[in-house]
Amino acid sequence: MTDAQLTAEGLLAEAQAQCGLTDPGVRDFEEGLGVLLETYARSGADERRMRREKRRLVQLLATRMKVEAAFQAHPEIRERPIRAPLYLTGFPRTGTSALFNLLGADAAARPLLLWEGVFPDPNPDVPPGAEDPRLTALRAYYEEGAKKNPEFSKIHVARADAPEECVMLQAHTFRDVQMGIEVLIEPYASWFQAQDLRPAYAYYLDLLRLLDWQRPGERWLLKSPAHLWALDILVEQLPDVGIVLTHRDPCESVGSYCSMVWALLDGIGYEKKTEVGPVVLEYLARSMERGLDARERSDEARFLDVDYRELVADRLAVAERIYAHFDLPLPGETADRLRAHCEAHPQNRHGSHDYTLETYGLGPELVRERLSRYVERFDLQFDGPGGSLA
């Protein structure tokens, strides 16, 4: 791998050669791509990791070109309405994934699937009703990964054809949290937090329209902790949006997230586990402060809060409260589907996830002090180890 290949120009050239197209759309992504490359170069990543990131970045750029070709061929896509979407957000490890999968059992919900986040562009070679070979290949990839690293399934379960976070889609903007670790490594960390995210969200929403054009749904169901950075943008650009925020004692959620981040870092950016915790805590604190500020300026009816303890005690009751708050229909058939999902997905079915704050250079007092505004706003209590919801 030469230095020339690790420039934006080199990656664009390789992406163009890969897909046979040349136009990646509005080029407001270039600054973020440049900062990302600088971050990887300074992170101490080994050659294996750099090859992996290079492949991912080339794919993201090639996908942008395919997406742009679709928009040019069908400009009406950008006019598709996004009606009454429901967003789930909050700190990582607060039950958003469990709630996401539960609400996704409703046939009226249109969750983003993992493979769609990776491949939002249409594949004209797939006959009607046939499975996209990209889904087939990605399914095999994740199944093999689960066999090689079964411990990670205790932290987060990922399947190609299952609902997944919007970060998969937003990565195509290069002005987002990327894969969740880049925002914890400089210089990308500071650069991202200083950005106006409106252009990135405009592109992301167009990708949702593109996916809805390919496989229509009644209403979008979407989730990511990263949306805390842009609650005001969601309300601005989606006036009938509903936003559910999940909450958990941060001594639990922060410790759990540190464990997940360390597994994802895979040896880049930090030499010791104790270096990760303070950075994670500061990042999460700033995201919540941004979210709380935006919420105070917005229509409170657009929001609903869910405590993690409620989810552990009775997920179905939480779902019913969400439907009632946002005036979503809940016919008997849908209620039965939600109930069946709860019965099929008990807590900790993938094994318990063990972690401590001290392992990552933190302690309960430090966490609750830094997040005092958040703790007091939602009257969060210490829960003790809570396992994982599936």
For residue 350, what pLDDT is reported? Answer: 47
For residue 386, what pLDDT is reported? Answer: 43
CA distance 87 to 242: 6
Burial zone of 329 (CB within 10 Å; 0-12 exposed, 13-18 middle, 19+ buried): exposed
Give the SS3 label for residue 324: helix
For residue 366, what pLDDT is reported? Answer: 97
The token duo for 169 is 């889609």
| Spatial contact of 38 and 87, defined as CB atoms under 8 Å apart | no
For residue 383, what pLDDT is reported? Answer: 57
For residue 197, what pLDDT is reported? Answer: 97
For residue 6, what pLDDT is reported? Answer: 83
pTM of structure: 0.93
CA distance 218 to 351: 34
The token duo for 194 is 């200083």
| Spatial contact of 160 and 135, defined as CB atoms under 8 Å apart | yes
Q: How far is CA 332 from CA 72, 99, 320, 336, 338, in A?
A: 43, 19, 12, 6, 10
Q: How many residues does the chain have?
A: 390
For residue 294, what pLDDT is reported? Answer: 97
How many angstroms separate the first and last alpha carbons of the chain?
40
Q: What is the mean pLDDT of each run of 10 residues along the chain (390 residues)?
A: 68 97 96 96 91 95 98 98 97 94 96 97 92 96 83 69 94 92 96 97 98 97 97 97 97 93 90 96 98 96 96 96 98 97 78 77 96 95 53
CATH homologous superfamily of 74-377: P-loop containing nucleotide triphosphate hydrolases (3.40.50.300)
- Other C-beta atoms closer than 10 Å to the C-beta of 125 total 8
- Other C-beta atoms closer than 10 Å to the C-beta of 83 total 12
For residue 4, what pLDDT is reported? Answer: 40
The token duo for 145 is 């990964």
List residues bridging with 243 in a β-sheet: 87, 303
| Spatial contact of 155 and 390, defined as CB atoms under 8 Å apart | no
Domain boundaries of the chain, sorted by first residue: 1-73, 74-377
DSSP 25: S
H-type alpha helices, 96-197:
96-103, 114-118, 133-148, 167-170, 188-193
The token duo for 178 is 């990327």
Which one-letter amino acid corresponds to residue 269?
G
Q: Which residues of 337-369 are buried (b: 16+ CB within 10 A; e: fewer)?
A: ebeebeeebeeeebeebebebebbbbebebbbe
Give how far the C-alpha of residue 378 lies from the chain's centroid of Cα atoms, to the nearest Å. 23
H-type alpha helices, the chain:
8-19, 30-42, 47-73, 96-103, 114-118, 133-148, 167-170, 188-193, 198-214, 231-237, 250-265, 273-296, 308-313, 315-325, 332-344, 364-370, 372-377
